[in-house]
Amino acid sequence: MYLLLQLLVIVLAFISLEHVAIIAHAQPYTSIVAPINKHTDVAKPLYSVKITTTLAPANFLIDIDAPFIWYNCIVQWNRYLTDCPSNTVCTTPVSYVAYQCEDVRTYTYSYKNPSCSGVLDWGFTCPIHVVEPVTSSCDQVILNYDHFTLYTSDGRMVGVNPNAACATPSLFTSFPANVSGVMAFSSSPYTLPAYFSQQTLALCIPSKSSTRGVLFFGNGPYYLLPQSKVDIRSYLSYTPLLKHQNSFGYFISVNSIVIKNRSINVPTNTTTKLSTIDPYTTLRTDIYNGVVRRFSMVTKRLHPAKPVAPFGLCFSTSTIGLKVPNIDFILPDGKKWTVSTANSIKKITKKVACLAFVDGGATSEPAIVIGAFQFEDNFLEFNLQNSTLGFSSSLLRKKTSCANLNFTPTNNP
């Protein structure tokens, strides 16, 4: 029986590699696209991408730091011989002796957090650690052979067989409704772009839950209405992506933060991380205090309001509209990522709005984490081949937004 199981794993691995090879040599296609949704039904705003699994389309949290894909499914050695339970995705597990198991476990070890300890022996399968991104709790999942399908921008379907992992439903209790997995978009070799052999990932996150943003794999071009003939790449500035020890996430260098011609000091070698899970930009206390002090000075005309957690600086919106100065992240070579009002001020109630920057504490590491609220209606292009980040600043200033992709019937996932 044991030899039979090993033979089955080898055959399935061969089929998976063969399928990837067929895709790689298929007729060239334009960018792969997938819709992005914003969720506000949980403790903090989160964003998901819709991708078709073996059963049906499913929503996965967008995580640009996660090392691999995992979602709500079960593994079955004999899934081709017996029926899968209703409304359940069944996949074949990776054997503990398979090379994929050793590779993923090796990469996972660099992602340990204090709540992760040891790996249980689950028979012939490959258990690995996963850090649930919403609560940062640790659990174990089972590595599998999987299949996902997406659409290209010209309406064709493309599929790929990645190694993902199956998790139990209990791991998704803190997730938004109808979101049942984590889609990894980091620089790890076990992310979806890596399996599609795409070196470029572009994100355009919507600012409203009632609209859809868009995710692209590929080198573009990228078009948004109403400028249907303007490639969004023409709006981008570029800065180097940096590597960080024990992380597949994305990091950049921020030399200073400027508010109305006054620079807030950022210590040399300060680490700046990009995050789609942290909802707002988090600053180490020394940097945060400088930003809040300067922002308070240039907004004296605004009526203050009692701070609303987790924010430390809030304003009344009852008597005057909120139009505040830009906050500029000054990057190497003089590049400037501008955070305008739409991405710096978070409306809390009809009468209160707050500066959407959070105090991370005196010892927080990384010292700066640029959060997802600052990404909304910005276009971000992660080029892994060139190790660069392309950023547009707010598209609203270009009279467009992330909700303006024309998802026509021919390319609608």
CATH of the domain at 121: 2.40.70.10
pLDDT value, residue 375: 98
Please give the structure tokens belonging to residue 98: 């398979």
Are 192 and 248 members of one domain?
no
Could you tell me if residue 222 is inside a domain?
no
Q: How far is CA 285 from CA 188, 293, 401, in A?
A: 31, 12, 32
Are 294 and 337 members of one domain?
yes
pLDDT value, residue 359: 98
| Residue 102 confidence class, pLDDT cut points 50, 70, 90 | confident
Contact 336, 266 (CB under 8 A): no
Are 254 and 355 members of one domain?
yes
Could you tell me if residue 115 is inside a domain?
yes
Are 69 and 186 members of one domain?
yes
Are 41 and 141 members of one domain?
yes
Are 298 and 364 members of one domain?
yes
Single-letter code of the amino acid located at 388: T
As a whole number of angstroms, the distance between CA 22 and CA 16 comes to 10
pLDDT value, residue 30: 62
Residue-range definition of the domain harbouring residue 382? 232-404
Are 250 and 397 members of one domain?
yes
pTM of the model: 0.87
Q: Mean pLDDT over residues 142-168, rounded?
A: 87
Are 35 and 111 members of one domain?
yes
Task: Classify burial at 309, counting beta carbons within 10 Å of its beta carbon; exposed 0-12, middle 13-18, buried 19 or more.
Answer: exposed
Could you tell me if residue 411 is inside a domain?
no
Number of domains in the chain: 2
pLDDT value, residue 112: 58
Are 174 and 263 members of one domain?
no
